[in-house]
Structure 1
């Protein structure tokens, strides 16, 4: 994830500054006033050592790829990953606010990302689904409803300037099809902007070397709202389906493997 150069607000009153890899910045007048629920009383769903999972700063897509594999390997998820879904969060402006992020310098953990990637585990017959976010300081994992209210924090009232979109990809498809040559983390001279993960760049089963941009690119026009279309798409499309912020929790309540 090209998180390098993404400036965060120094305090709750500042206007966030969005920077590119060149370091040149521009300010945005986007309003980020959202309800700030108290994090008190949060508790992890079960004890699991987050340090046992691979985490390389600025490479959230590869972190989640490895996370899905490890959850399957240790038996926390289905062996084939059928209960796991990879979720890319972004928008056309490549500017999405999230809270409780470790990289933030704010007390509430708010930061603006160009995109972020998490894993959602659908737990049929259980009270709640899980969100696995290696970049969050919330419990690991967190119940989906908790993560939605604490980390995503829907705008109240909705702010049309920061419409966050969610690309949901079934993990078995993602693990076969995703590829990244890490070119998005290189400058014009080919120098890496951040140290890469220890493992080799990820190549898709069919030999594709890089398709990260296709997962990140999403427009509001791409969103679906009919359940049959969403269900068919998430279990058959290489790049899953795109849903709006207001549809995310509802969609996961309707997903059946």
Structure 2
């Protein structure tokens, strides 16, 4: 999900990640599964049922951009799972302080990266459509793309 001024704008979350300084990176990752019928959202940080149908997720967590100033409109980089697994690499440097200590204990699993990939988290959280992989959508186009009326 995108952000403006490095602050994520969402509603109905048990955890909302915000930044105290523009130099810090702020992002949120969800998994979406799109079978033939309706798109499902898997969000580990939402208070909504797990999984949740896309329409309910958007309605209750993202709502609308119309009540926001244009500089706060949300953007979404959508990356197919196979592409993510082939291209994404993180050495977790974004989880460390300047002195090298951890901001929070890291997950017990190893960092995600194939041997031929280098740290590229910034390419995935950038909302510049010319950078990274996948497709960048504004909120309206994101909803048009994934909402399926049953």
Structure 1: which 5+ runs fail to align? 1-88, 105-110, 224-236
Determine the structure 2 residue equivalent to 1:192: 102
Determine the structure 2 residue equivalent to 1:211: 120
Residue pairs, 1:143-158, within 5 angstroms: 143-158=53-68
Q: 2:32 aligns with which of 120, 145, 162?
A: 120
Structure 1 residue 252 corresponds to structure 2 residue 146: yes
Change (3 A) 1:122 1:216: same
Larger strand fraction of residues: 1
In the TM superposition, what is the alpha-carbon distance from 1:253 to its structure 2 partner?
A: 5.0
Q: 1:167 aligns with which of 66, 74, 77?
A: 77
Two-structure CA RMSD over aligned residues (Å): 2.2
TM-score normalised over the length of structure 1: 0.51
In the TM superposition, what is the alpha-carbon distance from 1:99 to its structure 2 partner?
A: 1.6
DSSP 3-state at the match of 1:198: coil
In the TM superposition, what is the alpha-carbon distance from 1:163 to its structure 2 partner?
A: 1.2
Determine the structure 1 residue equivalent to 2:14: 102
Contact 1:98–1:112 (CA<8 Å) still a contact in 2?
no
Q: Distance in 1 between matches of 2:60 and 2:111?
A: 33
Q: Distance in 2 between matches of 1:247 and 1:155?
A: 12
Determine the structure 2 residue equivalent to 1:22: none
Q: 1:133 aligns with which of 43, 46, 51?
A: 43
Structure 2: which 5+ runs fail to align? 20-25
Q: Distance in 2 between matches of 1:196 and 1:211?
A: 18
Determine the structure 1 residue equivalent to 2:90: 180
Aligned length: 142
Bigger CA radius of gyration: 1
Q: Which has the higher contact order (CA 8 A, sep 6+)?
A: 2
